[in-house]
Amino acid sequence: MNLLDFARGAAMKWSIAIFLFGMLWRLFGILLLRRTHDYSEPRVHAAGLGALQGIIRRSWPRREFQARTAYGVTVSYVFHIGLAIIVFGFVPHILFIRNLIGVGWSGLPGGIIYFCAVITLVALVMAIVRRLTHPVLKLLSNFDDYFSWFVTAAPVVTGLLAAAHYGARYETLLAVHILSFELLLVWFPFGKLMHSVLLFFARGQTGAVYGRRGAST
Amino acid sequence: MSKDDSIGESLRKQGISRRAFMKFCAATASLLALPPGMAAVMAETLSRARRPSVIYLSYQECTGCGESLTRSFSPTLENLMFNVMSLDYYETLQAAAGTAAEEARKTAMKENWGKYLLVVDGAVPVEHDGAYCTIAGESAVDILTEAVKGAAAVVSVGTCAAFGGIPHASPDPTGAVAVSRIVKDKPVVNVSGCPPVPEVITGVLAHYLTFGSLPELDHLGRPKVFFGETIHDRCYRRPFYDEGKFAKTFDDEGARNGWCLFELGCKGPVTYNACPTVKWNQGTSYPIQSGHGCLGCSEPDFWDKGGFYQALSTGTWSGGAVLGAAAVAGAAIGVGAAIVSRRRHAHSDKEKHS
């Protein structure tokens, strides 16, 4: 068995199993927590609308903070959108998803994907440079922040290297790329990458509470 | 034609002109991607060289490699056999049979001890003392071990000989192994493929006959000149891969338009061979050109690397039970954690109100 066989076989199986295990653990563990009863009279009854407003409005900084947060918000949006295009637009990735859950769709040309990957990587580098140089961010950051960045950036870097056939034989680069993604899967439920799921619950919950009270979300 | 004749003498005796011989050398040098000047060197070397003895052994194989070898066009097998080398033993092509055939092999080995080129086709079974493949009462592994002692070099033709191939595929009941697992003290070149491109087989033989050495090899013992690039990199359908145009089935519009076969399981991106450049049947076509994805047949264990029609980016694992167990365990621990938390809160509330 070579490295690619390992990446496509046992490593993939166990990384998906750990991902599933961790995701369900975190989601059940958080969503089944007891909620504090709000005995006040609701001013607005459409709590769902408040939740939706909370998710949407908190995805963009308020006007008074825009100037201060413009760099972080822009860089974050660029690499999040870039990652989404790469993951859901590249045909080999779509085939992986289709093989796993049975749902597929049309992909984008390789050139667009490679362009997005380069932009994404630049944005990721800008994000980590800011984290390493900003005095407050630096103080707030811990291993989770840096390792989550690493497991996010690694598949982008290894994917670009595989596409360019740079640094090693293609099958080795492909294996390393798949393994780097599997590392991301393993880390995903247990680190800050979980924000990509939990943010909707967190913002929705806050939005629903504020909505019920008639406050601006 | 005497075996002791030089190649040049044997050619002259057959009335083959210098011009025809030079054409042969130019074609072979071109096939091996040698500099243009090497054709003249090759002609000079070959014309003075004595025709070397070649012993061709066949074990666990389907004779597909032999069929492929006989369809080489540049150089042709006939040209190699009759003009450049002395094929002294090859069960598929020789007229002799039984004891006479085995005697021919032993005589050729004795007369050319230390100098003959040993070509092996097929995997070698080692389970039960090699009982799964015997010739004239001798096991393949014993014949090979004996023949290798007097060989100058060994050429493993086909994926079975090079890497074990289909006989080695799981569950491998005969304990089939590659020739290189048995031969440790002689140079071995692997000419893999199921079957190999015929010109790759004859090209390697021609290289050895010309230079007296094996060509530069990759990490799997294959000649780099033929196995240096992936099928995908030299595939004429590669632009469609880059454009994101893929055939979804073998009879859809994409297939008719000749789009990339990656979605249909083509293993071209991880398969190294000369199929797209040298092609088959005098450069007519190769599997992808005929509308079927590459099976990756020149790579080790190609038979056990998941489905032939499964895209390369998908997994080769099967483990629904493992995933199910992981999901149940994760959900159970999550629910358990939430229950514990709720109980703590309830207990805390009780204490506050008491």
Q: CA–CA separation, B154 vs B117, rounded Å? A: 6
Domain boundary among B227, B247, B274: B227
pLDDT at B31: 74
The reply to whether B204 and B276 lie within a common domain is no
- Average predicted confidence (pLDDT) for chain B: 88
Residue of B163, B262, B314 to mutate when probing chain A, most A C-beta within 10 A: B314
Q: Do both B104 and B204 map to the same domain? A: yes
Return the structure tokens found at B108. Answer: 């050729």
Determine, yes or no, domain membership for B236. yes
Q: Both B96 and B167 in a single domain?
A: yes
Name the band, by pLDDT with cuts 50, 70 and 90, for residue A77. Answer: very high
Q: A192-216: per-residue pLDDT in tens?
A: 999 999 999 999 988 888 888 877 6
Q: Which of A18, A28, A177, A178 to mutate to test the interface with B (most CBs of B within 10 A)?
A: A28
pLDDT confidence of residue B67? 85
Cβ-nearest to A9 among B232, B313, B316: B316
User: What per-residue confidence (pLDDT) applies to B5?
Assistant: 66
pTM: 0.84
Question: Taking CB atoms and an 8 Å cutoff, what residues of chain A touch B314?
Answer: 8, 95-96, 99-100
Residue B39's pLDDT is 79
- With helix as H, strand as E and coil as C, how does chain A read? CCHHHHHHCHHHHHHHHHHHHHHHHHHHHHHCCCCCCCCCCCCCCCHHHHHHHHHHHCCCCCHHHHHHHHHHHHHHHHHHHHHHHHHHHCHHHHHHHHHHHCCCCCCCCHHHHHHHHHHHHHHHHHHHHHHHHCHHHHHHCCHHHHHHHHHHHHHHHHHHHHHHCCCCCHHHHHHHHHHHHHHHHHHCCCCHHHHHHHHHHHHHHHHHHHHHHCCCC
Tell me how close the Cα of B9 comes to any Cα of chain A, in angstroms: 46
Q: What is the CATH number of the domain that holds B298?
A: 4.10.480.10
Per the model's pLDDT, the better-predicted residue between B72 and A148 turns out to be A148
Question: For the residues A54-80, what does the mean pLDDT come to?
Answer: 90
Cβ contacts (< 8 Å) between B263 and chain A: which residues?
A: 91, 95
Pairwise CA distance, residues B238 & B119, whole Å:
35
What pLDDT was estimated at residue B203?
82
Q: Which of A80-84, A102-106, B23-27 has the lowest mean pLDDT?
A: B23-27
Range with lowest mean pLDDT among A20-34, B9-23, B79-93, B139-153: B9-23
* Total domains present in chain B: 3
- DSSP 3-state of B246: strand
Secondary structure (H, E, C), B73-106: ECCEHHHHHHHHCEEEEECCCCCCCHHHHHHHHH
CB atoms within 10 A of CB B343: 11
Helix (H) or strand (E) holding B55: strand B53-58
B273, B227 contact by CB (below 8 A) = yes
B79 and B187 fall within a common domain = yes
Residues B70 and B211 in one domain: yes
Asked if the model's pLDDT at residue B336 lies above 90, the reply is yes
Q: How far is CA B13 from the centre of its chain?
A: 36
Rounded (5°) CA angle B278-B282-B283: 40
Higher pLDDT, B350 or B147: B147
Nearest to B172 by CA among B220, B121, B129, B132: B132
Tell whether B87 and B109 lie within a shared domain: yes
What would the pLDDT profile of A36-66 be if each residue is shown by its tens digit?
887 878 887 777 788 898 889 888 888 888 8
Question: What is the pLDDT at residue B40?
Answer: 81
Boundary of a domain, candidates B227, B248, B278: B227
User: What pLDDT sits at residue B82?
Assistant: 63
In a domain? residue B172? yes
Q: What was the pLDDT predicted at A32?
A: 94
Domain final position from B227, B252, B283: B227
Q: Is the pLDDT of residue A83 over 60?
A: yes
Q: Band of the pLDDT at B2, cuts 50, 70, 90?
A: low
The predicted structure's pLDDT at residue A76: 95
Sign of the four-CA dihedral A26, A27, A30, A32 = negative
Asked which of A199-213, B257-271, B286-300 is least confident by mean pLDDT, the reply is A199-213
Which pLDDT score, from 0 to 100, does residue B237 have?
96
Q: Are residues B195 and B254 in the same domain?
A: no
Q: At B137, list the tokens.
A: 């009462």
pLDDT given at position B14: 67
Contact yes or no for B337 and A29 at CB 8 A: yes
* pLDDT score, position B4: 62
Contact yes or no for B241 and A14 at CB 8 A: no
- Alpha-carbon torsion, ordered B284, B286, B289, B292, to 10 deg: 150
CA A37, chain centre distance (Å):
32
Residue B244 included in any domain: yes
Q: Decide if A8 and B338 are in contact by the 8 Å CB cutoff.
A: no
Average pLDDT over all residues of chain A: 92
Condensed to tens digits (0 to 9), the pLDDT of residues B244-260 reads 899 999 999 999 999 99
Q: What are the pLDDT digits (tens) for B20-53?
A: 777 777 777 777 777 778 778 877 777 777 778 8
Mean pLDDT calculated for residue range B266-281: 93
Q: In this structure, what token pair is assigned to residue A57?
A: 């409005």
- Is B88 within the bounds of a domain? yes
Query: What is the rounded CA–CA span in Å between residue A14 and residue A8?
Result: 11
Instruction: Give the three-class secondary structure for B216.
Output: coil
Predicted-complex ipTM score: 0.86
Range of the domain at B327: 320-354
CA atoms within 13 A on the CB side of A111: 6
Are the C-beta atoms of A7 and B312 separated by less than 8 Å? no
Strand pairing of B53-58 and B116-121? parallel
- Using pLDDT thresholds of 50, 70 and 90, give the confidence band for residue B78: low
B336 alpha carbon, distance to own chain's centre: 55
pLDDT over 80 at B129, yes or no: yes
Does residue B235 share a domain with residue B222?
A: no
Dihedral angle sign, alpha carbons of residues A116, A122, A123, A124: positive
Are B194 and B62 found together in one domain?
Answer: yes
> Crossing angle of helices A170-187/A143-164, nearest 10°?
160
Q: Kindly state whether residue B330 falls inside one of the protein's structural domains.
A: yes
Same domain? For B295 and B243 the reply is: yes
pLDDT at A1 exceeding the cut of 70: yes
Q: Shortest CA distance to B278 belongs to which of B239, B240, B227, B210?
A: B227
Residues B219 and B90 in one domain: yes
Is the domain of B58 the same as that of B71?
yes
CB contact under 8 A, B317 and A10: yes
Burial of B321 (0-12, 13-18, 19+ CB in 10 A): exposed
Work out how many CB contacts closer than 8 A connect A with B.
Answer: 123
CATH number at residue B179: 3.40.50.700
